[in-house]
């Protein structure tokens, strides 16, 4: 069993020509953060759509996308936006948008174009937040982000590495669950179909998985104690993640482009009136 199967955060080689992997994780967080805060106060669909386009361009240029991520970004996300637009539109009070075009009527309920635009604006805001977060989420790992917060933001390492150790329990438990299921199949304990058999198989993994979790927690605690974790206010770092000039250049360039898009959106006008 390879180490990457157990530890998905093992360091690897960054794809050539993809600049996002060489940036500090805090730069990839700080660049879109003002835009993400601003989007919470927008009410038109144009502004979040512009920032979705900006984030997609940055991801396509600076990151290497797997097939799964590409399908989620370019197929699943538009479908989710369409579904959320219609759903949020159904929740909109028709009396607030009854001056727009009537799309359909079911009994006493009337669905107007203004309600659909309200839902579209809300769905695009959520999608924009997600895509902007993917700039750093797709190109940074948990350990890199924790180390950057400790080194640049001076977050206490007791908090950072403790949270990181707890977070890395999840892939470890997934690996142990697969081992338990494989052992059950070898011993013929995974037979049967239907919901009852599925519940029985799930119940058979609870006790060994809990025992493995306790053993793993004890090993982690002993390893931290043996390394005098928490004994001193500061610790040396094996891996340094500096904040370089290119990180500042990326942040400033992203802010300037974002400001230009915002100015263009305001200059073009709010478009359809959306009172949500």
Predicted confidence (pLDDT) per residue in 153-202, tens digit: 888 888 888 888 877 787 888 888 888 888 877 777 666 676 776 777 77
159: Cβ contacts below 8 Å, ≥ 6 apart: none
Concatenate the DSSP letters of all residues of 33-51 into one string: HHHHHHHTT--SSHHHHHH
* Cβ burial, residue 51 (10 Å; 0-12/13-18/19+): buried
Across the strands, what pairs with 106? 109
Average pLDDT over residues 53-64: 93
Compute the distance between CA of residue 93 and CA of residue 109 in angstroms, rounded to an integer. 10
Q: What is the pLDDT of residue 184?
A: 77
Residues 175, 178, 183, 185: what is their CA dihedral angle, to the nearest 10 degrees? -170
Q: How does residue 2 score in pLDDT terms, banded at 50, 70 and 90?
A: very low
Name the 3-class secondary structure at 110: strand
Contacts of 242 (CB under 8 A, 6+ apart): 24, 151
147 class by beta-carbon count within 10 Å (0-12 exposed, 13-18 middle, 19+ buried): buried
265 near 50, Cβ under 8 Å? yes
This prediction's pTM: 0.77
**Pair of tokens at residue 264:** 């263009």
If pLDDT is split at 50, 70 and 90, which confidence band does 275 have? very low
Percent helix / strand / coil, the chain, rounded to 5: 70, 5, 30
pLDDT tens for 125-147 read: 999 999 999 999 999 888 888 88
What's the mean pLDDT in 84-102?
82
What residues have CB less than 8 Å from 62, skipping those under 6 apart? 18, 19, 20, 21, 135, 139
Q: Where residue 9 falls among pLDDT bands split at 50, 70, 90?
A: low
Burial 123-145 (b: 16+ CB within 10 A, else e): bbbebbbbbbbbbbbbbbeebbb
């Amino acid at each position: 069993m390879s180490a990457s199967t157990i530890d998905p955060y093992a360091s690897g080689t960054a794809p050539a020509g993809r600049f996002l992997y060489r940036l500090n994780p805090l730069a990839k967080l700080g660049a879109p953060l003002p835009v993400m805060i601003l989007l919470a106060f927008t009410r038109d669909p144009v502004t979040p759509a512009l920032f979705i386009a900006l984030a997609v361009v940055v991801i396509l240029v600076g990151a290497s996308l797997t097939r799964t991520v590409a399908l989620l970004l370019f197929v699943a996300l538009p479908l989710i936006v369409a579904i959320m637009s219609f759903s949020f539109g159904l929740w909109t009070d028709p009396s607030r948008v009854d001056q727009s075009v009537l799309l359909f009527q079911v009994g006493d309920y009337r669905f107007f174009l203004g309600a659909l635009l309200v839902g579209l604006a809300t769905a695009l805001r959520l999608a924009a937040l997600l895509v902007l977060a993917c700039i750093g989420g797709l190109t940074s790992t948990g350990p890199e982000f924790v180390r950057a917060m400790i080194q640049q933001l001076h977050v206490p390492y007791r908090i950072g590495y403790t949270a990181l150790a707890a977070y890395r329990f999840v892939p470890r438990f997934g690996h142990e669950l697969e081992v338990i299921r494989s052992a059950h199949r070898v011993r013929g304990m995974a037979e049967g179909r239907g919901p009852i058999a599925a519940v029985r198989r799930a119940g058979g993994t609870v006790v060994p998985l809990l025992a493995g979790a306790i053993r793993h927690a004890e090993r982690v605690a002993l390893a931290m104690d043996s390394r005098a974790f928490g004994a001193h206010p500061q610790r040396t770092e094996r891996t340094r993640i500096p904040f370089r000039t290119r990180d500042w250049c990326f942040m400033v360039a992203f802010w300037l482009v974002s400001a230009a898009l915002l100015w263009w959106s305001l200059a073009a006008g709010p478009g359809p009136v959306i009172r949500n």
